[in-house]
Amino acid sequence: MSVRIDIGVSGDEASFSEAAAMQYIQSAGLNARIIFLTDMERVLSAVEDGKIDLGIFPVANQKGGLVKMALKAMGNHPFTPVDDFWLNVQQCLMVKNGVTMRQIHKIVSHPQALAQCPTFIETKLPNVSRMEWEDTAKAAADLASGKLAADCAVIAPKRAAELYGLDLLEEGIQDLKPNLTAFVVVKKK
């Protein structure tokens, strides 16, 4: 039996970073545990300090462009790149149970998710304000727990709606299909 390693991801449970890590673990045949570190800065800090064996986070999306938070974090920490790969990201709109499209006054999500869905937002929710959050899945968790107002909607992975008990109003709301995001795998320098 192989030794279990710890892989830190820049997201909460049910994030696209978790999906990317699961894809990488399976393709590389690793025995690994996923550690949820919410953002790229925490992932690279944990790699640098030797608290995790590998870090996985997104660096670019076809529609959303470069993930600026990743580039900033990469400039703050020494690391060694191990691998890179693409993940097809399917953005979904979710709300608290019973909330309808008409009742939505704010859309909350990671800046990349908002940048990947402008056509849907402008067509279906043109008068709704937008608010950036540090992670798509964290936004879903925070909506479910009441940290976000009940009239908010969240853009996040479908699994986030299932995990956090939210109603899934729309699936595949991103402009591009497929909607590819580049992820990198890093280790301590």
Give the C-alpha separation, 160 to 177, whole Å. Answer: 20
What's the one-letter identity of residue 159? Answer: R
pLDDT at position 65, please? 93
pLDDT at position 1, please? 57
Domain extent listing, the chain: 5-89+178-187, 92-171
pLDDT at 150 over 90: yes
Q: What is the mean pLDDT of residues 116-141?
A: 97
pLDDT at 2 over 90: no
Q: What class does CATH assign to 5-89+178-187?
A: alpha beta
- pLDDT, averaged across the chain: 96
pLDDT at position 79, please? 97
Q: What percent of the chain has pLDDT over 70?
A: 99
Q: With the C-alpha atoms ordered 118, 124, 130, 134, is the resulting torsion angle positive or negative?
A: negative
Which pLDDT tens digit goes with each residue over 79-106? Answer: 999 999 999 999 999 999 999 999 999 9
- Token look-up 């690391």 returns 79
Buried b (16+ CB within 10 A) or exposed e, 20-37: bbbbbbeeeebebebbbb
92-171 shares the fold of 5-89+178-187: yes
Q: Which two tokens stand for residue 141?
A: 């968790």
pLDDT at 172 over 90: yes
CATH assignment of 92-171, among 1.20.810.10, 3.40.50.1860, 3.40.190.10, 3.10.150.10: 3.40.190.10
